[in-house]
Amino acid sequence: MKNGCPTVKCIIVLLLVASALCFNFIPQRAAGVRGKPYPKSPFAHKVSRDVVDKARTVAPTSQIPVIVQLNDKASQSFESDVARKSGQLKATLRQFNARVVDLPAKVVDELASRPDVDFISLDRQNISFGHIATTTGADAARMTNVPNSTGLDGSGIGIAVLDSGIDMNHTSLLDRRGRSRVIVNHDFTGEGRTDDPFGHGTHVASVAAGNGRIANAQFTGIASNANLLNLRVLNSSGSGKVSSVLAALDWVLANRAIYNIRVVNMSLGAPAVDSYIYDPVCRAVRKLVDAGIVVVAAVGNNGINNGGRKIYGQVHSPGIEPSAITVGAANTFGTDERKDDGVATYSSRGPTRSSYLDSSGVRHYDHLIKPDMVAPGNKIIDAASPNNYLMTHNPWLDANVSKVEGRRMMYLNGSSVATPVVAGAAALLFQADPTLTPNMVKMLLMYTAQPLSGFNMLEQGAGEVNIEGAVRLVKLMRRNLMAGVQVGSPILSISGTPMPQTTIAGKTFDWAQGIILKHNFATGLDLITKYQQIYDLGVLMGDGVMTSNGTLVRNSMLSGGVLLSDNVLVSDGTRMSGGTLFLSSGVLVSDGVLVSDGVLVSDGVLVSDAILGPNANVQGMSTTTQADPMKVSVVPVDNGRDCLKY
């Protein structure tokens, strides 16, 4: 595989730096099947690598499921041309100007030659990843007074959950009048059902928005009265296609105003083959964010190899998208206080290794710092759908809170259950200030996060989510900042600045006081006292910084009080700028082999972070054969009576 590093010396330096940092290398992916080179085509840069691989391993007439993204030159002749080539149009995604097509292998390159075709990618498989209210600061934030409301609980905000379905009648998902808060149910899998036979989606939904009716409010979700939209994109075995996800996102964009959809939760992922510039799901996510919707995505669960050693560069799509809030899993070790918190061993680490091929045949890697933050994701107890696959095949997942269907609770691990914590936090921020942009929500959550000592930015991003701090900060901000505001305009409604600390369970910690910007990070009080153009709709937060040969260049999108770094740090547990050098930005953004060009493996639903045995894989789900691996000392038991004081 050709890379863009100009000299052999540069490659050697990169490898030495990576080796010194104890990166685990795995074999570089072959350029093509059986070592053959990719076809010499003038349109190769418009086709994903895995489409090329598949086209050369099947019969010429075999149908390949692809996503075709069109550009503004789109012609009405496209559909007829597909038909002439013996292809079949499966779906039209109008909001994204894309088509889902089954295409004969022999005509892939021919279709790519059309001037209205922007990019062709495989319709890949998506697989689910997979007392939080106190430790995240949500309970403290709930005390905020909101006009015409019972408190800060997500009321009126719509959270779209793209997952395996939701048990809409589970007690955790009812409102205070006993009605289901699942206000929309749509199936995009073709199975013709919207319940949750797999069990993942119900758990995820209740982490984001579960109420406190069960077990005296011991398992309350983050936005406990938000509305939920059940968009089922994963089937009964917990997997699904990219085209299903795109269809669901297309629906969200078309119906966002009707249901006040401000947040989308995506606790799922597919292999990150294409750069976010061309990945169809990433492009769809960008359109949603530009429309004012926060999209929260799981980073994945590939943080260690089979030998239990750390590996880097295993972030999945759409977690590679810079406009999304990408979330990794923190391990709280079952305590409310956060001094012992760390990044879960299995949580995937950056940088993103998705790439694109330019018209000259040179491959370029994205190398973004991901995740953006981490949230509690280890041994999380929340709602269980009736007779779900995960719990029936792994009985020890039952938390034994209740034996009554509709009140049962289960354990799950993974970045998939950390992601809805942040989705719920975003809903609370939108309730506190509906005029926020997605970039402002992202800034607030990163700036107030807690950096975890001993973990680098490729593991934790800005740090562990701190909802109390984010809500306290947004309460001090001016409203309607988007009305012609200029760079450097005041943000806060007070003359001073808030104390950059939060106290949870009697322990005080410092905020990160900074934000991640693509390949680097920024710090400074100006981030919360002066408006930055990177907070606008239609831009990326990293657009305020350009990187050239490791040198950072600020443009007019940032005020002079924002300090930029060209390093990735290992945190010392104080603020984002505190710590030791882990990797320089100049190394990170190079096109050399930094971590691995290996074939990515799917991220299953994690039900244990134990070392997996030889029989551990079940339908993409990582399990363990150890007895009662999720058992903890004390689990509150439900008395069968609803608690309404949540």
Strand segments, DSSP code E, in 204-350 are: 227-232, 239-241, 261-266, 268-269, 294-298, 325-331, 342-343
* Of 109, 163, 372, 591, catalytic: 163
Active site residue 200: yes
Name the one residue in this structure whose structure tokens are 């300090």.
563
Q: Which two tokens stand for residue 24?
A: 């685990």
Query: What DSSP string runs through 328-390?
Result: EEEE-TT-SSSTT-EE-TTS-------EEE-TTS-EEE------SEEEE-SSEEEE--TT-HH
Q: Is 364 a catalytic residue?
A: no
**Nearest of 335, 320, 316 to residue 270 by alpha carbon:** 316
Task: Kindly give the pairing relationship between strand 373-376 and strand 325-331.
Answer: parallel
Q: How far apart are CA 369 and CA 349, in angstroms?
A: 9
Q: Is 307 helix (H, G, I), strand (E, B) or coil?
A: coil
For this structure, is 590 an active site residue? no
Main-chain phi, psi angles of 520, to 5 degrees: -160, -165
Spot the catalytic one: 131, 170, 200, 367: 200
Can you give 97-146 as a three-state secondary structure string?
A: CEEEEEEEHHHHHHHHCCCCEEEEEECCEEEECCCHHHHCCHHHHCCCCC
* Cβ count near 550 (within 10 Å): 15
**Given 3-state DSSP classes, what are the helix, strand and coil percentages for the chain, each rounded to the nearest 5?**
25, 25, 50
Phi–psi pair at 375, nearest 5 degrees: -145, 160
Amino acid at position 562, single letter: V
Nearest to 453 by CA among 570, 302, 613: 570
Given the residues 416, 577, 585, 596, select the one marked as catalytic. 416
Cis amide linkage into residue 629, ω under 30° from 0: no
* Residues annotated catalytic, as ranges: 163, 200, 416
